[in-house]
Amino acid sequence: MSSVDSVSSLTGEAHTQAAKRSQLGQEDFIELMIAQMRNQDPLKPADPTQFLSQLAQFSQVTGIQSMERAVTGLAESLRSAQLLSGTSLVGREVLAVSDSATLVEDGAIAGAVDVPDGATSLRVLVRDSTGQLVRTLNLEPRAGLTEFTWDGTTDRGTVASPGEYRFEVVAASGSTSFSLQPLLASRVDSVTFDPSSQRLVLNTSGGTFALNDVRRVK
């Protein structure tokens, strides 16, 4: 076998070994270059610029891989920091965008409404699971965050049954009526990180909320 054939054979084996791996490591690349230099044809030595070109390409790939590892490490650190900070919310009461809550026996449900300027009337409608209206709360239409509490009683003065209830907010400005988004209070039981949205999720007594949906922490 000639020297050229030897070089081709060794190079082919080296490339085969590299192809079996997910990526070519630095040691593999150096071994490949040494094998090429040792087995080159003395009468036809390899062009040194070829080695330099290969080295430059490898350095570029290595740099990209290093940057990817750095970005991955940074993302993991940020995720860990976010989870760590989220644990401080466990046991706290949060006010978040929601239109339903569960009434427990002898319990109450608190919430709030972000009222715009110019509102002349404000009502919170409480409905049961069948859509039946059980309570209407008339609030003062003050601009800003207006809080309310439903004590669990109906408009007839009876105690509502435990279960899930829905909340609607109807405001008016003069003769024009419009709906507003209710904000309901709940207690944070735990926090998790959603890898699909890259966001912190709060698991509360009133459901699951993204941290961005929280308006206030108590």
Measured distance CA(215)–CA(96) in Å, rounded: 6
What is the total residue count of the chain? 218
Measured distance CA(37)–CA(65) in Å, rounded: 27
Q: And the tokens for 172?
A: 């008016």
- Amino acid identity of residue 180, one-letter, is L
What are the φ and ψ backbone dihedral angles of 122, each rounded to 5 degrees? -150, 125
Tell me what the mean pLDDT of segment 10-15 comes to.
50
What are the φ and ψ backbone dihedral angles of 51, each rounded to 5 degrees? -65, -40
The pTM of the whole model exceeds 0.75: no
Pair 123, 137: CB distance under 8 Å: yes
Greatest mean pLDDT range, 76-80, 118-122, 190-194, 210-214: 118-122
3-state SS, the chain, equals: CCHHHHHHHHHHHHHHHHHCCCCCCHHHHHHHHHHHHHCCCCCCCCCHHHHHHHHHHHHHHHHHHHHHHHHHHHHHHHHHHHHHHHHHHCCCEEEEECCEEEECCCCCEEEEEEECCCCCEEEEEEECCCCCEEEEEEECCCCEEEEEEECCECCCCCECCCEEEEEEEEEEECCEEEEECEEEEEEEEEEEEECCCCEEEEEECCEEEEHHHEEEEC
Q: Which residue has the tokens 């079996």?
A: 20
Please tell me the predicted confidence (pLDDT) of residue 10. 45
Please tell me the predicted confidence (pLDDT) of residue 47. 56
User: Cβ–Cβ contacts within 10 Å for residue 41, how many?
Assistant: 13
User: What pLDDT, in 10s, does the model give residues 108-162?
Assistant: 999 999 999 999 999 999 999 999 999 999 999 999 999 999 999 999 999 999 9
Measured distance CA(20)–CA(23) in Å, rounded: 8
Please tell me the predicted confidence (pLDDT) of residue 218. 85
